[in-house]
Each structure stands twice: as C-alpha cells, then as structure tokens.
A and B are shown apart, each in its own frame.
Chain A
C-alpha cells in the first residue's frame, strides 16, 4: 500500500510536466496574445495604437521571445511559487488568486455539502422504491438541474431572490453590508445571497451522482447478503445503510478527489453571471484575453489539484473497500 502510494507520487511528476507543456501550447495556439487584448482596451479608450507600438509592447513583456524561452520562464517561476504576472490586469497572479480564494472555497464547499445532502437521500430513496412515482419525480428533477444551463438558472434564481426575498442583484452582499465589518447581520446577509450560486452549481452535478449511486445500489439490493440480513430480522433502515450503501458509495469516493480542483475554481459561468468574487471569472477573463500567465497558472494549479485528488481518491478507495487491493 505504502509502496503503491510512493510509486504513484513519483509517476505524478512527469505527468504534471507533460500537463504544463500541454497547457502552455493550448494557451499559445490561438493567434494573438495579451498585448492584443491590451491594445483593444486602449483603442476602445480612444487611443489609436500603431503597429510599431504594439511590437514594442510585445518586446516589453518578452512576448517576442522564442516559444521555449517563454515556457521556461513561466514554468521555472511557477515552481518557485511565482504564478507570474497578469499583463492585462497589471497585477501579480498570486495576488489576484489569493484575494479571491476565500469565497471560492466557501462557495465550493457549500456546493459539495448541498450536493451530498440532497443527492444521497434521493439516490437511496429512488433505488429502494425503483420505478415508483417519486423515483421518477426525483430523477426528472435531477436531470432538470443538469439540463438547464447554469446561467439561466442563476438568472432565474436571482430574480426569485430579488422578488420574494428582497436580496440585491449580483454579488454576495446587499448594498448596506458591502463595507460593513463582519458581523452576525452581515453573515445572514451573505446567506441570503450565497444560496443562489450554491443551488445552481450544486444541482448541475447532482444528476450524475444520483444515477450512479442508484444504479449501484440496485445492483446490491437483490444480492444474497442483503436477503440473508433481512431474513435475520435486520431493520430496513439499518440494513440498507450499513451494507449496500457502503458499497454503492464507491463511485463517489473514486471521484471525490475531483472536488479539490472544484474547490479552487468554483464555476466560471455562474461566477460571471452573478458577479461573484471567485476565481472562475478570473480564469475566464485570462483565457479570453489570452493572458498566458494568468490563465496558464490557474489551469496548472487546477491540474495539480486534479492529480493529487485522484491519488487521494484511489487511496481512500483502497481503505474503504477491502475488495480493492494494490500489488
């Protein structure tokens, strides 16, 4: 087991190196770079920019260096913990990410919590009462959550929030609390707003989890050990939760590692629509502006978290399910 963990860790390193190359190439593939986005900004501000000036700006940010030189500069900085510098926002990426991390993690954690609290009971219920009216109803609901585009749901909920709960539009706080120091009232105000992104992002991922859990549970329920347990008079509640659910939970555990990158990024589209101070919109802006170091570094962090998360999942799985063993 320990052996396996160590081996996996070492395999991760070349994998991440490969990922960094792919990320860099992806960022470089479309024509243009951050300077073109910057020039566009200048032009929209009414400052005509000649081609010579564009070239000089490229030189200033070393964008005219050969590809490998730029890659090495970025990746060596990254390894030292310097995420680089956002050309279009004129701020170090470290700073940008750091100031948005808190709310991102908060929202994502609540989303996970929301998904779990809603998805687990639904899938267990649906499996036990398979093809019942309520099973169908829940299934439809879960699929709706997945099918409705997040931004539409976000807009709709924002409307509901404003119309019936009097919460302000966009952002995480009402006007009167924006500048106030943290207090109980401000916390309540935050809760009045934060449920919207949580529900939107949460429902999007629910359908998948519900369907796999339900299917796995359906596989387990008719198995002899369940029948045996029931024959010995084990109560229905205890019976289901103690045995089949523990096995049916496997697919959840094997993907739990992917929560890590989600925790870090939040959901870009919902973040943009709702004007949330999370990392998602930052990543989107970075990609749109071809701000290589901004977008590249965020994607790189996400990749690292994904890889680490997968490792954790695998190890957890081995711990939880004795049937899985590594040689």
Chain B
C-alpha cells in the first residue's frame, strides 16, 4: 500500500491511513502471579499465539515493536528465538500509552515501506520480578534529578502520583467514592465471564470501600493487579489481512502519546483534572471520521478505577466532571449503551500495561470473545447475549466500532479507534 506522495501527509491528521491497516492476530500468555519463566520465554509464547491466531508463519513477519520500563527482553532476541528476520524493529521505554502509539508506529513504518507485517509485544514479570508499583527490583534506585521533587517526599508509585488529580476531581465535581468504586464493580462483573481473568470474582461497592486504604482516594480494590504475562498484536495492511485466518480489526484512527504541557510536572499547568486525552480527542475523532457516539465498546486504561472516568470524560464520552454519573448510570456495563473493559481490564483480568484491552476489542469486533457460552456444532461459541445476573456472556452484540484509551499518567495518553471491515 503506497501513498502517492509523502507531502500529502499532514502529521497531525493522518487520515490517509484510515482503514488501510488492521490488527490480524492477537495472543497472550496466561494472566498469573508467578509465571516461572523469563520475559524472553513469555514474549515468544505470546507472539507465537498471535501468529497462530493470524495464520502467519515466521517468514511472514518482518517488523517488531516493543515497549518496557527496563523490565523486558529486546525484540531482536525474541525474533531470533522465533526464526524471524526483522526489516524494522524498535524497543522503546514507555508506559501504558505505548500500546496504541506503537500500533500507530507500525502503520507508519508499513506505510513507509520499511516492513510489511509487525508484531507489537509487551512482556513483563510485573508481579514476580519488576513491579510497576515501585517495590521489588526497582526500589533501590538512587534518588536524583526530578525524583528529588517527588520520590524524596514518598511520592513515587503511580497511585501516589495520580492521587492529587483524583482528589481535585472529587473536590471540583463532587465525584463520590461510591461512583469510583463502581468502576471496579462493573469490571469485576465482566471478569466473572472471563475464564482467563486473574480476579474473576464479582465485588460490591462496599467491598471496595471497605478494602484497605492504599493512598486516598484509592483502596486496595481501586488498584489494578500486578501480573506476569506477555501480550502481542500483529499489524499488517488491510490487503494482506485478507489472507489471514481471522477477520481483521481495521485501524481507523490512532493518536499516539499526546502529552500535556509540562510533562515533568503536569499539575503545574491547567486544571489538573484534565488529562492528555483532552488534547488527543482533537486528533482521534477527526481522523476517524466519527465521534464518541459512534463507539460500541470502549477499553479504558484502568490502572486504577479513577483513570477510567477521567479518560471517558476527556475523550468526550461524557461531559467534563460527569464521569461519575457515566459510571453509575450503567452506560459502561455489559448490556449498557457502551460497555467498557468487557474482559475485566487491568483491575480484574490482569495488568499488561495496556495491551489486553486492545486484544479484547479485537475479539469483540470479530464476535469471538471467549466466555462461558456454549460451543455450537461449528466449534464456535453461541453467544447468548444474556448480560443478566446469571448470564455467562460478555460478547457485545453487533460491534462495529471500538475505542481504546491508552494512558501512562495524567499527562500522557494515546488512543485508537478500530472498526469491523
């Protein structure tokens, strides 16, 4: 797929890429605490699963992108293990906004003719080796530079760093602890229909509010679950996607790693309740040619309950300050107008640094979410679409458009719109 002229591309509006690229394969390793494997081993397994899902072999893949926080294995080693020779690869340092950003990067390098099919992966022993929360292998680093104005004050973990944003939101908009807790309740209901979920047990608002306080306003159950796993999505052109085993999830629009001013200390500028999605939405929606009202399923980066509400507000799914209402009125529940994190997300399925919500939405678009519905004579699940209390289904009916909202912290975000072909 070649563009007629590079000069046609406006870097802030790459509409020329709309629907020309697709995710054709998704794969993961089990969401566990204590994988007993290296990140190198986890990555090869996840990519292998995604290759089988796409019906691709080693010779079909020639690009690889990964991100980590110095806790993974670089792409060339993984490629070598899988018998893949790369024409383009990049390992970057980055948080949860990397998922959509690297998928966007994959479309760009394919468009530039640098490679043809890209595996994007994230491998982490996020529970048993390096914990994002700051304990374990990362805890002994010296405190220098910017950390002298944060870590020195006992202000270092994501929950601690985001807390002023959350509390200010409650102060300005009257968001209640019960509304925040409801995010976990809803995601836990979704996870209860997900055989792969690390925490499949439904919880109540009271259970969230009575769980141990970690950092106000976050209780233990407001926090995601550190997990050992690897995840992979495979990106190629819409033309090549026709030869793959499963229907493609077309990439309609990507906004990659937008940041607020003063990323070093984003609460220096603007209302701190505004997150990077506020800027990202002005790229995301025009490039997709649609708006929030057209989206059937969302995937939020629920590192914490609260991050979900902030993203939904700033990307325009509801008005600023009304995230609590959006959650409590049932919009994002299975059976609601726009279900969110139908796998249970980071709060319940497992923490993958952003990847599993993309994987879930690809499966939603295919109509092939793995839940507890019966298997039909054709070997496929016969989804009941029963979202009631005793229902076992988490497949949303007729999914045409999904949105994934990536997040690294309040100052950094990325997002992606996918669509059924």
A, B in one complex: no
- B: which residues have CB within 8 A of A? none
- A: which residues have CB within 8 A of B? none
